[in-house]
Every structure is written in structure tokens, then in C-alpha cells.
Structure 1
Amino acid sequence: MEPVKIKLDKSNQLLTDLMPKKFNASGKLWVGLLLVIVVIGFFAYIRQLQKGLVVTDMRDFTSWGIYISNFVFFVAISLVGSLVSAILKLANVKWRTPLVRISEIIAVAAIFFAAIIIIVDMGRPERFWHLFAFGRIQSPILWDVIVITTYLVVSSLLLYIPLLPDIAICRDLTPASSKFKKWFYTFLALNWRGTAQQYTLIHKCINVLAVLVVPLALGIHTVTSWLFATTYRAGWDSSNFGPYFVAGAFQAGCAGVIAVTYVLRNHYSLKKYITTKHFDNMAKLLVLLSLVYLYFNINEYLVPGYKMKTVDGEHLKSLFTGHYAPLFWSVQIFGMIVPIVVMLFKKGRAPLPVFIVSLMVVVGAWFKRFLIVVPTLLHPFIPIQNVPASWHTYMPTWEEWAITAASLAGALLVITFFVRLFPIISIWEMTEEQQTPQTDEQTNLYEAKA
């Protein structure tokens, strides 16, 4: 393969548009806000370490709370890396290129904080290493540890390896006077020189990782669902949970990349590269994924609702007409039904409407995970009796909310600093596409549109 030739001068429009830029006033304000949230969450976690999990509202019955809800949410969002980087690549979808790196950094940030939130949920975090040293392969928890660790490694490689040519560009364009930045990019570039052999190797690596990450992505969400489904609890005891979790993760991940893409597109003036066509295509994909997830939701509730066994009946009543009914129906309507209806129409697939409904899907996805975890724990087989009244309910304390918000802010900080340091759209892949003969349809894809 011929090396991709990129002119390292001001005449190269790609470099002008796509090279990382310094934070402006709004960017600094955004970073400051996220850092404040992280600091408050860190303070709350220090309190939790000092006093124990008693500062949370988790008790013997609700032993999992919003920490595990947040964990499942992060795992779901992380699927976006395999969706855009792998599945669309293997399907030879050309328009995916400007969205690839965005999806990959979202995936890495999400799965990294999924691992962190598990440590936060532990009463004795210093024993975390026991999972690796003394784990029993019979336990689904160990399965989850193995698959999350593997997925984090592969996702990081899928982000880092295609980034090498662009890191080298940053290295070559950084002035010698910026010694630390020069060293930083030189170290990460791994002696990249842009030879034909290196480009051949990088394409092979991307293809191998794209194939490898798909079964891993399906595995991480299936294994996570088994943490719930291998119990006898009402609401979790379901053979539908594997595909149910995977479908929900695809939907949430797709919505997540749309929301982040919209913000970056407007903030960094990338309308020339991320066009209305991208939002239209991603919206169509999101409609399809939402319809699939809607099917699994109907399947998940219809069958136990038809049988209405005693414990299942109590659980479903709390969701349909009881304490959690307002949240349950809000999630179904605003997190699934409304987005489907809006995006079925062409005007609803314009960038701003798609951004709004994607935010609705992401928020709905978080609360959906809350509904999966908490109501089930409050309906055990053995009735809750002879215990304090507070054990019958679960309301997260400010420490739990602060730590959860800090984990979400931390993931956004990772994405924010990545955009500051590296090109968020692959310069070498865009150059490669421009050098490849295209059909009229593919050429029109990258034309700037209103």
C-alpha cells in the first residue's frame, strides 16, 4: 500500500480543521464544572471510605443501588465502540469514518469508569485484587471481571493503533520550544514514519481488532446480564436477559455517540466533515436499534405479566401501577417511544432533533438500569419483616449521588482532554478517503450542508 501523503503545512485544510485546539472560554468553563463535580464526588468517597457503606442507603435487602445501575449503564454505553468501529467497518459502511474515533474514546472512557464504579461499590476496596488472586471460575462475577478487563484492553488498542499516524502529525507540527508536548507525542508515536509497511500493518491490526471486538462486546453485555439472570429473583430470573441487555446497550451506545458528535461538531466547526447525512444515517440506525430494544422490552414484561406468579406479580405491579410506575412509564415513553416516532420523519432526523432525542435515550437508559436493579431487590422471595422500616425502601444518599455524578463527569473529562490533545477525526483516514476514487454518492456525503 502506498503511504498516505499528508502535507504538513498551512495549505492543508484537513490540518487546519482537525488538529486539536486550545480550550476557549466556554471550554475552560466546561472543564471547571466537571472538575468541581469530580472533587465533590471524591470528597463523598473519602467519607464512604472512612465511615463505610453505612453512609449509603444500601442495606441487607437493597445491597446494590445506583452504583451497580451506573456500572451497567457504563457497560452499555461502551458498546458504541464495537458498533461504529467494528460492525459498520465490517459491513463496509463508508460514512462511518468521521465518527469512528469519537465512538472509540466514548467506549474506552465508559468501560474504564465501569471498572472504577465496581471498586467504589465494594465495602473493602483494598481487597479488589482478591478477585484476580482468589476468584472462583464458577462465579459469574469472575466471568465479568475477565471479560471487562479483556474488553478494556482490546478497546484501548482499537483506539490507540489507528491514532498512531495522527500522533506522529502532532509530533511533527509541535514546535521544539514546547519540550514536554514534543516528548509526549514522540513517546506515544512509537517511531511512526508513515512508510508503506507501517500502513499495511496498521490496516491489518485494525481488521483483526474489529473482528475480535465484536464477540467481546456481545460477551461483556451477555455476561453482565448473567450476574442478574443466574439468580432466582423476580425480575431477573429470565432467559431473555442476554439479548435484552445487548439490544439496550446498542441503543444507548448509538444515542451516546450522536449526542457527543453533535456537541463536538458545533464546538469545533466540523460541519464540513460531520454532515447532516451522518445524523440522518445514525438516526435511522437508532430507530432500528430502538425498535429491536422495544421488542425485547415487550418480551421481558409480557411473559411474566401473563403468568403473574406471586413474587413476579408484586414486582410488576410496583413497576406498572405502584411506587416506580411514574419512572417506569417515563422511561418507556420518553426514552423509547417518542424517539422512535420523532426519527421516523425526515425533519426529526436533522442534527438538532436527533441530538435532543438522543439525550432522551441516554437519560432513559440510565434510569432503565436503575429500574432493573432496585425494584427487584425490594421484592425478595422471603418477605421483608422484623426489620427497620427504612429497609423496605431505597433512596440514594447525597454521597451516592455525588459519587455517581463524579463518575459520569470523569468519563466526560476523559473525552474532553482527549479532544484537546488529539484529532477527534482521523486525519490520515480522511486523507486516504480523499485519495481513493469515490462514487458521486460518496463524494456528496462529505459536502457541507446547512
Structure 2
Amino acid sequence: MNKPAQIQYSPQMEKDLKALSKDLLPKPFGTLGKLWVALLLLSSLISLIFYIHQLRDGLIITDLRDFTPWGIYISNFVFFVAISLVGSLISAILKLSGASWRTPMTRISEIIAVAAIIFAAIAIILDMGRPDRFYHLFLYGRIQSPIIWDVIVITTYLIISFLLLYIPMLPDLAYMRDRFQGIPKWQHKLYQVLALNWKETPEQKEKLNRAIYVLTVVIIPIAFAIHTVTSWLFAATLRPGWDSTNFGPYFVSGAFMVGAAGVITAMVVFRQFLNMKAYFTDDHFDKMGRLLVVLSFVYLYFNINEYFIPAYKLKGIESEHLQELFVGNFAPLFWSVQIFGMIVPIIVLLFKKGRKPLPMLIMSILVILGAWFKRFLIVVPTLNHPYIPIQRVPEDWLHYYPTFQEWFITLGTVTGALLIITIFIRLFPIVPLLETAEEIKHDNTERTA
């Protein structure tokens, strides 16, 4: 393959890119970064060791039993699917709505989406007693089953999310191929291969913009489908707590909320540790804070709707399920999730002082933790209240308490996703370089007009 000629930019664009590259081009990790990577690798390794034990001994090392076949693995799966929707929220919905301020967050949202959806799929495999038979899903899966629908939409969403991450990055990859100096040969070769002979010609730019627009439009219904179909895994049953027509919008609204919180958390981290205060400004945090409040109010509405009507009727086994949540064994966790994972963030972020980086970081972490435990509350308590009474079994069969092996394996999926994001920011600009330069050029043109 012939090496393409170095791209020539206008003098002003060259000047802007040179200034931006000092901040935005990836840099080698310092001591703190290396310790962070070591911590993620160690955690992932420990998780892998415990998973190997699970493969050897079976799911008996977990607390999953006949009465509670789904636990924190499935809770984690639903959580990862939820947070992955941030890619469509930032890259697609805000783009189509004309929110130009979203630019610094687009690549963050897409890498979070890709990492999350990869480990959503892995979480399903972790829950399988015989993961070596995973391919049976494709050979013998029944299209009537919501599980097969979920496999289809997850695969589709992963492909489109990857394309939305990769295709807009082509101009940046070409710039690094031509002008990124002082890097190892393998890294330069990586950029050369990934840049796909990009030359910044008008024809290429037109095709690029057209492809991005098509993907932006297509990913929105797929994003809604992925979490709607995930909700149908539960709603298509007659179980108390799951037998609901509200689950589709309930899951989607909650997914957008936790996805926005994930981006805010990443913004604070990158702003602080990658010295990007000029790119993640107070105005960006103010707008993301307002967005999170709106999404939280929408989710609060569906949350009230999900519990108020069943609580008003209190019919049969549904009554036992709700009492377990409201005043029973799960009550402390349930009310903590409602208060600290939703009510407190809404109240704090309603005020301008609350929409600053530090308070927003705290509120976003509360939202993320609340979202994870909310998925646990959706999955587990329902399984404790089947229509056929559980009788003549040991007491510990009636309850589900995740074992330390389950917790470590689950933690490994989180650190694995963080490791993907960490490797990405080590190799690629986390803020779009060429797109930011184009916006600077556009702003300068408007000022002089």
C-alpha cells in the first residue's frame, strides 16, 4: 500500500491544529496513570481467576439456585445495556437537535457505549452454566423468544456504535499519521492502517458526513429497541414486579439518565487529570446538569407510575412483592436508591451552584450507583415471590445473597470496561481534534462577518 501524501491544511487551520494538538493528542501515562492501569489489570486478573473457578466447579460457587436463577450477573447486564445508551443520546439525539456544545462529549459517549455493550454481552456469558454452548443461541435460537431479539439488537447496536466511534475519527487518525511525532513505530503504523488512506478531499468529506448522518439517524431507533427489548425479557412474564406494560419507557428513560451521569463523571476525570479545563468548561457542566435533571424527572415520572398503581391495588402476590420492597428485607436498599440515586441529585442540580464539576461528580456517582442497585431491585426481589409457593426447602434457598466470587467477577466486568476506555484515551484523542478546529474556524468566521 502506497503511503498517501501528507495532508495540507490552510495556514490558519494548521495553526489551530498545532495549538490544539498540544492538549488533545494522547500522551504517555505518568505514575498515576500507570498505577491506574495496574489496578485495573490486577482487578481484571483476580476476576478472571474466580471465573475460571466458576467454569471448573459450576454455578454452585454462586448463590444462584432454582428459585433465584438470575442475580447480580443479570443485574450487571441490564446496567451495562442502560449506560450504553449514552452513545445515542449525545452523538445522535443532541446532534440532530443542533446542540453544537456536545462536540467535546461525543467521543467520550461513544467509547463508553462500545465498552459497556461489550461487557453487557460478557455479563450474559458469565451467567451461563455452559458458556461453551453459547453458539447454540445462534444455531437453535427461537425467533419467538425475547432472548433472541435481545441478541439481535445488542449485536446491531454494538456494530453501529463502533462505526459511530470510528468513522468520525478518520480525520484525526490521518492527522496523527502525518504529524504525530516521537511515538513508537507500532503506534504510527496503527494510525496509518486505521486512517484508511484518508486524504481530506471534498469527496471523502462529503461521504464521511453522509455516513455519519445515516448512522446518527439509524442508531436512535436501535438504541430505543435495545433497552425496550431488554425490558421485555422481564415484562413478557407473569411475575409480580415484572408483569408491566410500563417497562419499555421505564427502562429507556432510566438508561438515558445513567448514561448522562456516566459522561459527566468522565468529563470531570478528564478535565482534572488530562488538563482539559478549556474543553470541558463550566458551561458544558451547566448544560449537562440541566440535561441530567430533565432526564431524571422523566425517569421519576415512570418510577412513580411503576409503583403507585400496583401499590394502590395491592392485588394478590403483587402485594407481597411490594411489601418486601417498601417495608421488608429490601426496604433499606429500595428507599436509598430512590432518595440518593434520584431525589437528591435532582434537588442539588436544580441550583446553578450544584451544576459545578465537583458537586456534579458526586451527584453523578450517586446516580450511577443508584442505577446499578435499581437493576438489582428489578431482577432479584421478583424471583423471591413466584406464583407457586416455595415450600419444604432449606431456609437459605428462599433468599439470594451474592457470594464473594460473584462480586469479584462482577467487579471485573466494570474494571474491564474502564480498561477499554483507558487504553482508548492513551492511543486516541478523547476530544475530536479536527472537529474542534473546524468549530474554531466557524466561530472566527462569524465574528469577522
Provide the TM-score with structure 2 as the length reference: 0.95
Q: Deviation string for 1:219-259 (max 9, x for gaps)?
A: 00000000000000000000000000001001000000000
Q: Deviation string for 1:82-103 (max 9, x for gaps)?
A: 0000000000101000110000
Partner Cα separation in structure 1 for residue 408 and residue 9 of structure 2: 47
C-alpha contact (below 8 Å) 1:151/1:213 kept by paired residues? yes
Partner Cα separation in structure 1 for residue 17 and residue 352 of structure 2: 37
Structure 1 residues 96 and 151 mapped into 2: Cα distance closer, same or farther (>3 Å)? same
Letter in 2 for 1:69: S
Partner Cα separation in structure 2 for residue 128 and residue 404 of structure 1: 19
Partner Cα separation in structure 1 for residue 246 and residue 269 of structure 2: 35
Aligned pair partner of 1:389 in 369, 385, 395: 395
Aligned pair partner of 1:287 in 285, 288, 293: 293
Partner Cα separation in structure 1 for residue 9 and residue 153 of structure 2: 36
Q: Deviation string for 1:342-391 (max 9, x for gaps)?
A: 00111001111111100000000000000000000011111111122111
Structure 1 residues 11 and 136 mapped into 2: Cα distance closer, same or farther (>3 Å)? closer
Structure 1 residues 176 and 347 mapped into 2: Cα distance closer, same or farther (>3 Å)? closer
Partner Cα separation in structure 1 for residue 95 and residue 414 of structure 2: 28
Provide the TM-score with structure 1 as the length reference: 0.95
Partner Cα separation in structure 2 for residue 410 and residue 326 of structure 1: 30
Segments of 5+ residues of structure 1 without an aligned counterpart are: 444-450
Letter in 2 for 1:89: K
Aligned partner of 1:138 in structure 2 is 144
1:204 matched to 2:205? The reply is no
TM-aligned CA deviation for residue 309 of structure 1 = 1.0
Partner Cα separation in structure 2 for residue 7 and residue 431 of structure 1: 7
TM-aligned CA deviation for residue 437 of structure 1 = 3.8
C-alpha contact (below 8 Å) 2:17/2:433 kept by paired residues? no
1:426 matched to 2:432? The reply is yes
Partner Cα separation in structure 2 for residue 248 and residue 166 of structure 1: 33
C-alpha contact (below 8 Å) 1:221/1:245 kept by paired residues? yes
C-alpha contact (below 8 Å) 1:251/1:286 kept by paired residues? yes
Partner Cα separation in structure 2 for residue 190 and residue 64 of structure 1: 44
Aligned partner of 2:415 in structure 1 is 409
Letter in 2 for 1:100: T
Partner Cα separation in structure 2 for residue 149 and residue 24 of structure 1: 36
Partner Cα separation in structure 1 for residue 17 and residue 413 of structure 2: 41
TM-aligned CA deviation for residue 414 of structure 1 = 0.5
TM-align CA RMSD: 1.8
TM-aligned CA deviation for residue 194 of structure 1 = 1.3
- The 5 A counterparts of 1:291-330 are 291-330=297-336
Partner Cα separation in structure 2 for residue 3 and residue 127 of structure 1: 53
C-alpha contact (below 8 Å) 1:4/1:432 kept by paired residues? no
Q: Deviation string for 1:55-104 (max 9, x for gaps)?
A: 10000010000000000000000000000000000001010001100001
Structure 1 residues 400 and 420 mapped into 2: Cα distance closer, same or farther (>3 Å)? same
Identity over aligned pairs, percent: 61
Partner Cα separation in structure 1 for residue 426 and residue 247 of structure 2: 39
Q: Which moved more, 1:26-35 or 1:83-92?
A: 26-35
- The 5 A counterparts of 1:4-43 are 5=10, 12-43=18-49
Aligned partner of 1:270 in structure 2 is 276
Count of matched residue positions in the alignment of Structure 1 and Structure 2? 441
Letter in 2 for 1:300: E
Partner Cα separation in structure 1 for residue 8 and residue 338 of structure 2: 50
Aligned pair partner of 2:365 in 359, 362, 377: 359
